[in-house]
Structure 1
Amino acid sequence: MKNKVLHRKKCMGILMLTLVVIVTFLFIININTPMMGEDFALISFYPYHEPSSVKELIQMISQRIINQATQWNIRIGEQISIIFGSINIWFYYIGNTMITFVYIVLIPTYAFGKKFKMNNTKDILIIIFSFCIIILFQPVLGEIFFWRTGSSNYLWAMCILLIFALPLRLLYEGTNVFNNKKYIILLHTILGFFAGLTNENTVIVFIVLYIGIILFRIRQREKIFIWIWSSFTTLILGFCVMFFAPSTKIRMRTYNDIFGIKNITINDYFNRALNITYRFFNENIWLVGILAIVTILYVYLNYNKIKQEVIKKKIIVYKYDTINIVFLLASAISAAALVGAPYVETRAFFLIDFFMMCSIIYFSTNMIEKYIKKIGFIIKVIMTAISILTILCCVKIYIVYNNYNKFVKNNELIIEIAKNNNDTDVYISPYKCKNNRILNTREDYLQSNLKYIESYYGIKVFYNMEELYSYNDTNEEFKDSDFKHGVDYINYDSNNDRLQAYGWAALEEQKSDENIISILLKKNDKIYKFETNKVLRKDVGEFYKDNRYDESGFSLDMHNITDIIPKDAYILGICITDNKGINYVTYTDNQIEIK
């Protein structure tokens, strides 16, 4: 008995240490995340004009929030970002670490509909498992959890909405958490207004869930508590303020102008729906796949029992299963609502991702508890593999953010030196690494809106775009016999400063679908590399009688090319990067003159 107690304490100590490591990791990544993109726009003042008192600070923040809410975006996330951008950065580091941990805990809380205790081994394991799923499978991880503007608009806003809706989730299983606690009901009612200001496509999901519980309780002739009506009212009020705000109309009109949208037809909505569906499954392939496998396994293993309960009309035994499915299906409304938006970002699927994770946690945990004795070894192998993959991913995340932070610090040093030398302008390096799930630098936004970074640093800033496209092929692997290619069209339009190229390239007897094809322009020892877009070329596959070449086509359409490279005559080359990252380079007989 004593040994069991000691073993339990030892396990608890290890688990608590793991939680400390998780929080420390999140804190370190936050510290290594510099200002990016819209962060430079969502601030109240610039470093060279800091407020002289707390009163002035509050006035400046308030005025900036009013301007943002009335002129561009009233969502609460924007205002949170402004606040964090105007106070000591350490408040953001600590706050964002804490809210990330809150989000992790909210996943099992919604999945099981109960309060999780930090002195319960099982509860801590589930929290750690939730962290692993986020790290391994959350699309656009960095944009949501580390980038200040992104986390404010999505992570913080989502947590406000989920915390507000938690009593509703518990009510779906018959638990009233308030029990006539008037002051808490008042606070919850006030929170409803701010929850309504979070995001257009997510708030509507909980409005539908509120309507569902009200109709259900009316049908069952059950009492509809006062807090249901009060919080539902303020949620709708906040949503209406956000939806009908003049700034929302301004933002929608601006994006419609950018994308050239004038008269929207039914066919346009249909095409948007197809695009949203494709985007969702393409970006969430891992989460959807895991959810499908876990759900099918769960139903298969419990099929006979579920069938018996259905026959007996006692399916209420599986009410927690049903609740998870109901919330997951309801979250799909947030994707459907995107049909009304002129463009779609992967971050917009964040609510669906949350409820997919809830279902994965719920179904997998139940299966593990039930079959741990029968297939304990297999379960341990799977959990060990997940742990190892999570650790490796965390190491990769740290390396990526640490390297990028050093890169930004170096650019800031270059700017500081230029200012000390009283220079009127300065050239800084663009970040060469491609945006990915872990890190999106948002440099494309800054390059298009240099006024924000110039105002922040107090000097005219240029990005050295030539450096971004410079390429060195000295040590690249080159096998001419393995490299099939053809350039069908290449042209430089000097009037519009536009370079266009069209053709195909493929490694012999290898699939082309995962290859990245780039156009090279070479002049003496100077080489510029431009990544192309994929084009379907079934004619190539038919010619070689090999469908592996069907996706070997490429197209390039570069505008303002002379802003990137000097005017000169260049030899045309092609580079194929395979799925292992190996580059294959060849040069053609084509020559193009940029003049």
Structure 2
Amino acid sequence: MLYFCVFSGFLLALNALFPTQSDDLGVAAEGLKGAWRSYMNWNGRIFEMLRVAYIGAIAPSAYFVILNTFVAVAFIFGFFIFIFARLPQSFDDVVILSVLLLIVMYCSAFGSIFLWAVGSLNYLWAYCALVYSFIPYRLFWARYMACESLSKDSSISKELLKALALMLLCFIAGMGSEMVGITALVVHIGFFIYALYKCVRLPLWYYVGFVALGLGWLALYLSPGHAARIAVWWDLLGRNSIYTLGDILSMSLGEQITHLSKTYRAFFSLTPYMLCIPLALVLFERYRAGMKIYKI
């Protein structure tokens, strides 16, 4: 708890001290009319619609500083649960969370994603919703891999309530990000195949969340605003500046590999950190375990 208080204070200071981005100045709260205009003409992401409708108007104020800090802390906290399938418990977990924050801050886009309204709502808030929509599935498979019982007695009303809550969360998550959304759907399909192969009985909420995620992603990808924004970028930068899903599927395998290598080339500089830091954490954990055995 102390760590999250310190972490919250750190992010709160960053949000308060950094000046408001020019794109966040002068944004009016246009309500549902503004959200619909964004969906039809520019951006179908649900959190961008929320920004245009309400949040953008408070971006220069202290209210957004507090709200954005809360979402950032929730994202880091949720990401830890998603990775380890448990709550933070020890000093080692604090080290892992600190390293995670350092990796995030190493990226050049940290400020535009964590501190300003345009980037925060389009990415940070969207990724936060996605992470929390993944957690029930992560915990479900964690229990299965640990050979724990998955069939817990529950009333129909509770099961329906879980399904409805996850349906809403997954639909919002699906409308949050084009790239992460389609990746999540592919991973879900892989787990469905695994569950079919292993004869794993999946609960109602599992199916409902998957369908809602898919519907949310389709609502985003097929939005008129999405197509309009792509057309603008094509006019400005050329047809090869943005590839649609249809463009990628029409490529040959070699062209797809070349395209992916170019797309993810920007992440190559992070590779040493992504490899060395987990290795260092594993070695540190083994060292601590060895010290405990020695003391005994």
Which interval holds the TM-score relative to the shorter structure?
Answer: 0.7 to 0.9
Q: 2:283 aligns to what?
A: 367
Structure-2 residue corresponding to 1:290: 273
**Secondary structure of the equivalent of 2:43?**
coil
Rounded Cα–Cα distance in structure 2 between residues aligned with 1:134 and 1:141: 7
**Contact persistence 2:174–2:214 (CA under 8 A):** yes
1:126 to 78, 96, 99: 96
User: Pick from 185, 193, 208: which aligns with 1:230?
Assistant: 208
CA distance in structure 1 between the aligned counterparts of 2:32 and 2:84, rounded to whole angstroms: 40
Q: SS of 2:201's equivalent? A: coil
Structure 1 166/173 Cα, relative in aligned 2: closer, same or farther at 3 Å? same
Structure 2 residue aligned with 1:243: 221
Shift in Å, 1:108: 2.4
Matched residue, 2:174: 196
Aligned-partner residue type, residue 235 of structure 1: L
- The structural deviation recorded for 1:171 is 2.3
Could you say if the C-alpha distance between residues 268 and 219 of structure 1 is closer, same or farther in structure 2, counting changes exceeding 3 Å?
closer
Structure number with higher helix proportion: 2
Cα–Cα, structure 1 residues 267 and 250, in superposed 2: closer, same or farther, change >3 Å? same
CA distance in 2, matches of 1:373, 1:234: 43
**Is the CA contact (8 Å cut-off) linking 2:133 and 2:170 kept in structure 1?**
yes
Provide the residue aligned with 2:147 in structure 1: none
Cα distance between partner residues in 1 of 2:83 and 2:23: 34
Distance 1:225 1:203 in 2: 22
Superimposed CA distance per residue, residues 392-425 of structure 1 (whole angstroms, 9 cap, x where no aligned partner): xxxxxxxxxxxxxxxxxxxxxxxxxxxxxxxxxx
Shift of 1:37: 4.0
1:113 counterpart (51, 66, 85): 85
2:19 corresponds to which of 26, 34, 55: 34
Output the TM-score relative to the length of structure 2.
0.80
Measured after TM superposition, the shift of residue 235 of structure 1 is 0.9
The correspondence of residues 264-343 of structure 1 with structure 2, limited to 5 A, is 274=258, 277-278=261-262, 280-285=264-269, 287-293=270-276
1:66 aligned to which of 28, 32, 36: 36
Q: CA deviation at 1:280?
A: 3.0
Q: Within the alignment, does 1:161 sit opposite 2:77 as a pair?
A: no
- Which amino acid is 2:65 matched to? Y
The alpha-carbon deviation at position 230 of structure 1 amounts to 0.8
1:574 matched residue in structure 2: none
CA shift for structure 1 position 161? 0.7
- Tell me which amino acid in the other structure corresponds to 2:274: L
* CA distance in 2 between partners of 1:94 and 1:177 (Å): 40
Check the 8 A contact 1:77/1:156 in 2, yes or no.
yes
The alpha carbon displacement at 1:374 in A equals 6.6
**Secondary structure class of the residue paired with 2:264:** helix
Contact 2:82 2:134 (C-alpha < 8 Å) held by counterparts: no
**In structure 2, distance between residues paired with 1:245 and 1:211:** 24
State the structure with bigger RCO (CA 8 A, min sep 6), 1 or 2: 2
Distance 1:270 1:222, change over 3 A: closer
Matching residue of 1:147: 116
Q: Tell me how far apart the structure 1 counterparts of residues 4 and 87 of structure 2 sit (CA, whole Å).
A: 17
Matches of 1:165 and 1:245, distance apart in 2: 24
Paired amino acid for 2:264: F
C-alpha displacement of 1:275: 6.2
Report the structure number with the largest CA radius of gyration.
Answer: 1
Query: 182-191 or 83-92: which moved more?
Result: 83-92
Amino acid aligned to 1:290 = Y
1:469-508 to structure 2, matched below 5 A, reads none
Which one-letter code corresponds to 1:156 in the other structure? W
Name the SS of the counterpart of 1:96 in structure 2.
helix
Q: Which amino acid in structure 2 is aligned with residue 112 of structure 1?
A: F
Partner of 1:174: 143
Shift of the 190–66 alpha-carbon distance from structure 1 to 2, 3 Å rule, reads same
2:63 equivalent in structure 1? 91
Give 1:140 shift. 1.5
Unpaired runs of at least 5, structure 1: 1-14, 46-59, 295-359, 377-595
Partner of 1:103: 75
User: How far 1:257 moved relative to its partner?
Assistant: 1.4
Aligned partner of residue 87 in structure 2, secondary structure: coil
Q: RMSD in angstroms over aligned alpha carbons?
A: 3.2
Per the TM alignment, residue 375 of structure 1 is displaced from its structure 2 partner at its CA by 9.4
Give unmatched runs, 5+ long, in structure 2: 145-149
Gap change, CA 1:268 and 1:107, over 3 Å in 2: same
Verify the 8 A CA contact 1:167 1:177 in the aligned structure 2. Answer: no
